[in-house]
Amino acid sequence: MLETAIKADARTERQVAYPEPLFILCPPRSYSSIVCGILGQHPQCYGLPELNLFLGDTLGEVWTGFGTFMKSFGRHGLLRTLAQLHDGVQNEETVARAQEWILARTDWPIRKVFDHIQELVGPRILIDKSPSTLFRAEFLERALKQFPDANYLHLVRHPRSTAASVLSLRAAHEQIARMANNALFDPERIWRVSHELSVTLTEPLPLGQSMRLKGEAMLANLEIYLPQICEWLGIRSDPEAIEAMMHPENSPYACEGPPNAPRGNDPNFLENPSIDTERLARIREASLIGELSWRPGENFDPRTVKLARQLGYS
């Protein structure tokens, strides 16, 4: 009882000082970079690159875990964030200092790391969009345990267009293609497992704590969806705030980082972070029916079709 009371007091103190963060849940290639970039430019929010903090219980577990992913570009988002917030600029020196800072605090619980970032940002809503949160059930469970009162945005994209985007990225980036050279990384499987996790583990949350959005609909109708998201988060939705959100390119993370931490976000977003309203207006949902380009002669697994229809696709 005493422990519960202490946790409740700590939660109350944090709520007084800082708002609860927002976590965007989705597999890779689901519009999360542009959506995080848009929401993060709201004057009351702060969009983060991919921190990947839920891969372990401590900063050390995160830093050395999950194989090649965290030994390469999986670290870039956290390095860029710390460099930006500690030194006000991202260059090779500040990123090196960020790495020294991390290596001196490998015993820190991930919640302490996140709270440190929150203190540096101040009373703005932190927005994290790490697709790795859905790599395993334990990662999302860790997020929900560490942030039981946070808001969760389940962002979805049609499985066919998600897979096409995944394959296009792998074709353009040899390092990513090498990491994904395994049946476990079949784009349909990643899509289905990730969304099954998100649906299953966020369903028990209290009404209003999570929101599910089709990325295609949101990006094609920003003038409709942005005020609704603001209302959900309890933040301003006046013209000045909406106009700020229309410029994700103003984020300090909306460009390639220094050579020792160049990524931390989707490569395509880093190359072209501005909103192209004409292109977004042309987004059309694909079909669940038909042969898969990456597995000739095969169609979607019935489990994928069932889940996609549950999420509003046809």
| Residue-by-residue pLDDT tens, the chain, 314 positions | 444 444 444 455 555 589 999 999 999 999 999 999 999 999 999 999 999 999 999 999 999 987 778 877 899 999 999 999 999 999 999 999 999 999 999 999 999 999 999 999 999 999 999 999 999 999 999 999 999 999 999 999 999 999 999 888 877 766 666 666 666 679 999 999 999 999 999 999 999 999 999 999 999 999 999 999 999 999 999 999 999 999 999 999 999 999 999 999 999 899 999 999 888 888 888 899 999 998 999 999 999 999 999 999 98
CA dist 197 and 46 (Å) reads 26
Residue carrying structure tokens 């519009």: 31
> Longest C-alpha distance within the chain, in Å?
61
Cβ distance 158 to 216 under 8 Å?
A: yes
Q: Report the C-alpha gap between 237 and 249 in whole angstroms.
A: 20
Determine the Cα–Cα distance for residues 58 and 108; give it in Å rounded to an integer: 5
- Distance in angstroms (rounded) separating the CA atoms of residues 133 and 143: 8
pLDDT of residue 163: 94
Domain boundaries, the chain: 22-311
Q: Is 47 helix (H, G, I), strand (E, B) or coil?
A: strand
Strands of the sheet with 210-214, listed across from one edge: 45-47, 125-128, 22-25, 151-156, 210-214
* Helical axes 110-121 vs 137-146, angle rounded to 10°: 60
Report the distance separating Cα 231 and Cα 22, nearest Å: 14
3-state secondary structure of 126: strand
The predicted pLDDT at position 65 comes to: 82
58 phi and psi angles, rounded to 5 deg: -125, 165
Which long-range contacts does 276-283 make (Cβ < 8 Å, 24+ apart)?
Answer: 277/222, 280/219, 280/220, 280/222, 281/220, 283/216, 283/219, 283/220
Whole-angstrom distance, CA of residue 214 vs CA of residue 31: 10
How far apart are alpha carbons 87 and 55 in whole angstroms?
A: 26
pLDDT at 156: 97
Please report, for residues 30, 139, 229, the alpha-carbon distance to residue 194 in angstroms, rounded to integers and kept in the order given: 11, 11, 23
Provide the pLDDT for residue 140: 96
Q: 3-state SS string over 76-112?
A: HHHHHHHHHHHHCCCCHHHHHHHHHHHHCCCCCEHHH
Backbone angles phi, psi at 150, to 5 degrees: -70, 165
What is the model's pLDDT at position 168?
A: 86
CB atoms within 10 A of CB 193: 18
Element (H, E) at 45: strand 45-47
Which CATH number is 22-311 given?
3.40.50.300
Q: Is 161 helix (H, G, I), strand (E, B) or coil?
A: helix
DSSP tag of 131: G
Residue 24 β-bridge partners: 153
Please tell me the distance from the alpha carbon of residue 173 to that of residue 188, in angstroms, as a whole number. 20
Q: What pTM value is reported for the model?
A: 0.91
Alpha-carbon dihedral angle through residues 27, 31, 37, 39, given to the nearest 10 degrees? -90
